[in-house]
Amino acid sequence: MGILYIVPTPVGNMEDITLRALRILKEADLVLAEDTRTSGILLKHYDIKCHLMAHHKFNEHGTTAGVVERLKAGQVIALISDAGTPGISDPGFFLAREAAKAGITVQTLPGATACIPAIVSSGLPCDRFCFEGFLPQKKGRMTHLESLREETRTMIFYESPYRTLKTLQQLRDVFGGDRQVSVAREISKVHEEHVRGTLDEVISHFEETEPRGEIVIVVAGKEKEKAKKKDRRNDADDENEKEE
């Protein structure tokens, strides 16, 4: 049996790749890339000559079976995405699941991701958080946000710069304009920026300054004391209804 390595690649600065990641990419029999052109730039930068094969959300259901057979035959295969850790809002889950089902060793290297630097730099609580990734673009979008109305953990969302302002406005509709938020853009790149404040304040900023680059939105959870007060009010209402 071979090994499937899931290898994070830099989200910005190319120096963010680990020494172990570089070694595995050099030694792998095959490297699966979300976009071979994008990955080719990284590999060329580190003078890594390897066999590349496209593996993305549009073909993964067709290519996975063949990849699993290669792994069964003893090959060492590395999976990378355009940036960050495969499987986190990127292709990777399906292959990892099928390889594990087949009894193949799946090892994921620690490494670059956008969500962790965003929440740690936000100034919002990061001891407990929930990762929501990309919201549905149309159907179910507001329903999903409504389901988070009582969430007390810090929430992390990925977003396109073209939808950032609309998403912030929808977050305000659900959580209120005084909810704290941090919008991180271009993490680990030259123009990295973190815009912090209430939803009202951050919306005003982006109404004047068009958001650009890769965006991570970090939203404070509902204050626990407020949540407890609401629970107590609900309990009191229930008791009153019983008495009536």
Q: Which residues partner with 9 through β-bridges?
A: 84
pLDDT of residue 137: 86
Compute the distance between CA of residue 82 and CA of residue 42 in angstroms, rounded to an integer: 9
Give the residue among 101, 104, 99 at the shortest CA–CA distance from 86. Answer: 99
Q: Per residue, what are the HEC states of 166-194?
A: HHHHHHHHHHCCCCEEEEEECCCCCCCEE
Residue 186 Cα distances to 11, 120, 203, 218, angstroms: 8, 15, 18, 14
**pTM of this prediction?**
0.87
pLDDT of residue 138: 83
pLDDT of residue 139: 87
pLDDT of residue 207: 97
Measured from the Cβ of residue 62, the count of other Cβ atoms closer than 10 Å reads: 9
- pLDDT per 10-residue tile (average), the chain, 244 residues: 97 95 97 95 95 94 96 97 94 96 97 95 96 92 96 97 97 98 96 97 97 96 72 60 56
- Report how far Cα 189 is from the mean position of its chain's Cα atoms: 17
Measured from the Cβ of residue 100, the count of other Cβ atoms closer than 10 Å reads: 12
Compute the distance between CA of residue 202 and CA of residue 216 in angstroms, rounded to an integer: 13
Indicate the residue type of 32.
L
Which helix (H) or strand (E) segment holds residue 156: the answer is strand 154-159
